[in-house]
Structures are given as structure tokens and as C-alpha cells.
Amino acid sequence: MTQTPMSSYSGSGSPRGIGRMAVLDGLRFLAAVAVMLFHFTARSNPSWGQPVSEVFPALQPITSLGAFGVDLFFVISGFVIPLTAWGRGIGAYTASRISRLYPAYWAGVLLTGFLLLVLWPDRRDLDVTTVMVNLTMLQEAFGYGHVDGVYWTLWAELRFYLILGVLVVIGVTTGRLLALAAVWPPLAALAELSGMDFLATMLVSDYAPLFAGGIALYVLSRNSRSVIAWLVLAENVLIGASWSAERTQDLIQATTRSEISTATAALAVVACFALVAAATLTRLRHFSATWLTTAGLLTYPLYLLHEYWGWWVIHLLHDRLPVVVTLAAAIAVVLVLAWLVHRLVERPLGRRMRRALDRDLVRVGV
């Protein structure tokens, strides 16, 4: 959630009849806000000066479910990335992904690195080398930690992009997309259960059904009468509600003092699929609203920057202002920061990078 779970889906190469969907933009922003509230009011952190469960005793059980915002991002990404890949060669596909992923990400790494190394040196495990390696977005593959914990989702996204990139080389068709969505999640789960760690990692075993279910929704947005597509969607909803939901359930229980049932986790994942289906398969896909589109544009930088910058604001204000005012100030600061990164970095640099990559990849015959 950019070209993370948060990818843009307008532009050349999109199939005729599928333009920008404002409600889908709104869902992306909703997912980012859910994750933000999870980090501010549910996840254990030192910024409040006392356990978060004591600061928000009634709210924490609710906002702990915000961790499923990541699951929602992955379903949206599964829908969006095939749309942007349709009709494009591998060069154009690569240029679009890199130019949308990296500019805001670089800004996020450098800003958060500056915060944690200079303004609020609260991370003993962080050094300049780790910040520099993080600029590649491949830090997990190199064995380095994340500057910001949310970056783990980008590693999942990159692997999904790579998998779909292989299909782009072969040629994206409806049949091939459905075949991928049907085979990929069971194969990924089998690889993990069989102890084939490298293969399971490359196949994004934990969250494959979320991406694959999004792919099925994309196919259904082109042909809602496809029985095979509905069956593939049902397959991934079932696997996602049992397999992927358990991962997010474990994350919540490991980072908060909230306990959620297996049934609740499964229903949360089903709800993620239902929300994306409503936004893409019903009349809502034609709804237009500038404010939703704007919110969608802010989603990626907000997601990248909110955690530590928000915690820092809370750290500065929690013993000076009421809890609600402190929380509102943290949200306001990260929203302004996200807007600045979008306007000053993501938009201008992304366009220039896209043009340069398109030109250079054509030169080398990609």
C-alpha cells in the first residue's frame, strides 16, 4: 500500500473502461489510517510514557484490528498491479513500479533515519549503514533491520511485483492471471509446510492468497460472469481467512495486550475482500470524488512516515496535553508531512524517474 499496497492505477496500459476508482482510493487511505491508529493507540510503544492499554483501555481492543489494514492493502495491490501491467512490456512495467515505489520511500527512509539518529536517538540497533542499506528496499534480503517496521510490507510487495513481472514477460492474459491466482497460494503454503524456506519466502507464502484474491477481483472487474474467476476468488478467500488471518492475529497478540479470536481474524480478512469487491465490482466503481482521490495520493507517504514521527510527537506532548489532543496533534503532523513528501518529492521526482527509466530501458532493449 503507491506501488506498495497503495499503487496508482491510472495511466497508459489500463484496459479500456477501467479508470481511476475513487472509492478504491478511499479504501487505501482507510487502510493507512487503520494501521496508523493501530500503531498509535494499540501497539505497545514507549511514546505515551505508560502502557498503551492503560491510555486507551476501551479503544485498544478496537484499533488493534487496524493491523488488518495491511491485509486490505495487499488485496488492493493484487487488484491494482495486474491492471497497471495489462498491455505493457517488461520495460514499461519495471519503470512504472520503480518510479512509483522509490521516490517517497527514499524520502521516508531519510526523514525517519534523521529523526531516529539525530532528533530522537532512541534506537540502539540503528546506524547510518542500516539507513543506507534501507534505501535499496532490499534490507531484509541483505540481513539488515528496517529503519521503520512498516517496511516489511514493501518487501512482500516487491516479491509480488517480481512474480507478476515474470507473467508480464510471458504475456498477461486473463487465463494466465487466473492460473497464477489459483496455483500460487497453495504452492506457497506447501513450500512453507515442507520446509522449503527460500521458495516459501520468494512466493510470499504468508500473504499470497490476499494478492491472488485481488488478481481474481481484477479479472472479475473485466468479466463479472466468469465462473472460474469466482471460484478462484472463493479459493483465495478461504485460504486467506485461515492462513493469512492467522499471521495477522499472531502479530496483534505479539505487539498488543489484546486477544482476538480466530473467528474474528477470519472475518476481518473476509471483510477486506468484501470491501475491495464492493469498490471494484459494483456501481461504486463509477463514483467520483476529488477528495477521495486526493486521500489516495497521500496514502503511501502517510504509511511510510506515520509510525516514528507520530510516536515522536506523542513523546513530546503526552505529559503536556490531554490524550485526545496529543493523538490529534500526532495525526495532524504526519498528515502534513505526508502531503509535503507527496508534493515536493513523490510527484515531481516520480515523473522524472519514469521518463528516464522508460528512455534508458528502451535503449538497452528491455
Mean pLDDT, the chain, rounded, equals: 92
| Global pTM value | 0.92
Cβ atoms of 102 and 63 closer than 8 Å: no
Amino acid 357: pLDDT: 87
Query: What's at 339, amino acid-wise?
Result: W
pLDDT attached to residue 125: 81
pLDDT bin (cut points 50, 70, 90) of residue 10 is very low
CA distance 55 to 349: 40
Q: What is the pLDDT of residue 363?
A: 73
In percent, how much of the chain has pLDDT > 70? 94
What gap in Å lies between CA 74 and CA 47, rounded to an integer? 29
* pLDDT for residue 362: 65
Torsion of CA 160, 181, 69, 94, to 10 degrees: 30
Look up residue 244 and give its three cell numbers.
493469512
- Residue type at position 174: T
For residue 360, the model assigns a pLDDT of: 80
Residue type, 227: V
- Reported confidence tier of residue 20, pLDDT bands at 50, 70, 90: confident
Q: What is the pLDDT of residues 278-332, one digit of tens each?
A: 999 999 999 999 999 999 999 999 999 999 999 999 999 999 999 999 999 999 9
Q: What is the pLDDT of residue 17?
A: 47
Name which of 355, 349, 358 is nearest 105 in CA terms: 349
Report the distance separating Cα 168 and Cα 218, nearest Å.
Answer: 16
What integer pLDDT is reported at residue 5 of this predicted model? 43
Pick from 124, 143, 146, 122: nearest CA to 134: 146
- Whether residue 19 is predicted with pLDDT greater than 90 in this model: the reply is no
Percent over 90 (pLDDT), the chain: 86
Cβ atoms of residues 210 and 71 within 8 Å: yes
Q: pLDDT tens-digit profile of 135-175?
A: 999 999 899 999 999 999 999 999 999 999 999 999 999 99
Q: Is 185 within 8 Å of 208 (Cβ atoms)? A: yes
User: What pLDDT was estimated at residue 332?
Assistant: 98
Is residue 361's pLDDT more than 90?
A: no
10 Å Cβ neighbour count for 63?
A: 22
Whether the CB-CB separation of 63 and 41 falls below 8 Å is answered with yes
> The C-alpha cell of 168 is what?
508480464
Please check the confidence at residue 3 and state whether its pLDDT lies above 70.
no
Q: Residue 124 has what DSSP assignment? A: T
pLDDT of residue 366: 61
State the average pLDDT over residues 12-16. 41
Q: What is the pLDDT of residues 190-220, one digit of tens each?
A: 999 999 999 999 999 999 999 999 999 999 9
Q: Residues 75-104: pLDDT tens digits?
A: 999 999 999 899 889 999 999 999 999 999
Interior angle at CA 151, CA 325 and CA 94, nearest 5: 130
